Amino acid sequence: MQITKNKVAAIHYTLRDNDGNIIDTSDGRDPLHYLHGAGNLILGMEEGLEGKAKGDKFQLKISPDKGYGEKDPNMVQKVPRSAFGDQEVRKGMKFSTNQGNVVTVTEVGLDSVTVDANHELAGVELNFDVEVMEVRNATNEEITHGHVHGPGGHHH
Ligand code: ZN
87 and 105 together in one domain: yes
Q: Please tell me the distance between residue 107's alpha carbon and the centre of ligand 1 in angstroms.
A: 41
49 and 23 together in one domain: yes
CA–CA separation, 156 and 99 (whole Å): 27
Q: Please tell me the distance between residue 11's alpha carbon and the centre of ligand 1 in angstroms.
A: 20
Whole-number pLDDT of residue 98: 81
Q: Please tell me the distance between residue 109's alpha carbon and the centre of ligand 1 in angstroms.
A: 46
Whole-number pLDDT of residue 1: 96
Q: Please tell me the distance between residue 154's alpha carbon and the centre of ligand 1 in angstroms.
A: 6
Question: Per-residue pLDDT tens for 88-98?
Answer: 999 999 998 88
* Residue 31 counted as domain residue: yes
The boundaries of the domain holding residue 110 are: 73-116
* Residue 154 counted as domain residue: no
Q: How many CB atoms lie within 10 A of CB 148?
A: 23
CA–CA separation, 147 and 34 (whole Å): 7
For the chain, the average pLDDT equals 94
Q: Are the C-beta atoms of residues 50 and 69 closer than 8 Å to each other?
A: no
116 half-sphere exposure, CB direction, 13 A CA radius: 18
Q: How confident is the model at residue 101 (pLDDT cuts 50, 70, 90)?
A: confident
Q: How many domains does the chain have?
A: 2
Q: Please tell me the distance between residue 145's alpha carbon and the centre of ligand 1 in angstroms.
A: 5
